[in-house]
Amino acid sequence: MIEKHFVLEDIDPVVFYGVGNGHLQMIRSLYPKLRIVARDNVIRVLGDEEQMGAFEENVEKLRQHVLRFNALKEEDILDIVKGKRTKDDIPEGVIVFSMSGRPIKPRTANQQRLIEAYQENDMIFAVGPAGTGKTYLSIALAVKALKEKAVKKIILSRPAVEAGEKLGFLPGDMKDKIDPYLQPLYDALEDMLPLVKLQDMMEKHIIQIAPLAFMRGRTLNDAVVILDEAQNTTPAQIRMFLTRMGWNTKMIITGDMTQIDLPHSQKSGLIEALHILNNVEGIGVVNLDSHDIVRHKLVTRIVNAYEEFDKIEKLKN
């Protein structure tokens, strides 16, 4: 009789154990000579040495399956334990899987160009209207790189356009004040990573979310760095951000030219950067449009209606 402890690292133990511990009960039935007790993300196993070796090998295969797909089904457990499955290949085109097990992948031609631009360049500008998936796909690419250990950290940033007097009226400390501006980034991460693991990564600064002003003076190495809502940067701000790039780093800059919230007298840093850097080697530019909107069909109609309105207003002026 021997005893071992197994830690389910980097995955949500709830997914591994199943609803009502259904998966755990199945695993127990497949190893009748072992006493299996699970608490949080630790599995304590006592019993036969021969079955222990098989259990150790298969629990790691199951963990890897959950890590890749964020899901586990009874047939997966049976296939892996009975040796019917030798490898779990992620289907072609899938970047990562959401916490519900849904494959996250490009759904339009321009979204596919964004993925290709990321693979071919170290800096990418993704420009398009709301709902085109530019931020969501960018974060998916960052999560994939982190999971595959291609980088050591993810850094996400946004300009806090309201950062003057209006920000001061919000309650709480600085984190409480800026979190509302960064919430869309949290939402995307929570859709792709187990909440406990995400919180742990943020505490260890493996994943960092901060307003653009916090980037000053830093050199960002071994990271995927995403600047969201870049249309609301000033020329000085975006220049500062772009020059933070370090070794083994990918930068993705996203923006929507139709949602510039800067004062009318202030030029958008994103517009200037695209003009200056248009033909620089190693920088990719992907333009998404209303055909790439993957939200509710009404969003496409709203965007098209406003684009038509803007054209008419320009003609009047």
What ranges make up the beta strands (E) of the chain?
Answer: 2-7, 34-39, 42-47, 96-97, 103-104, 123-127, 153-158, 207-211, 223-227, 249-255, 283-287
| 220 bridge partner residues | 245
Q: Can you give the pLDDT at residue 161?
A: 62
Q: Can you give the pLDDT at residue 210?
A: 82
Amino acid in position 150 = A
Q: Can you give the pLDDT at residue 100?
A: 85
Q: Can you give the pLDDT at residue 165?
A: 38
User: Which residues of the chain fall short of a pLDDT of 70?
Assistant: 85-89, 161-179, 295-296, 317
3-class DSSP state of 86: coil
Residues 6+ apart with CB under 8 A from 212: 157, 158, 159, 160, 227, 233, 237, 241
pLDDT digits (tens, 9 = 90+) for 259-295: 888 888 889 999 999 999 988 999 999 999 888 887 6
Q: Can you give the pLDDT at residue 307?
A: 79
Helix 134-147, helix 109-120: angle, nearest 10: 40
- The pTM score is 0.79
d(CA 269, CA 278): 14
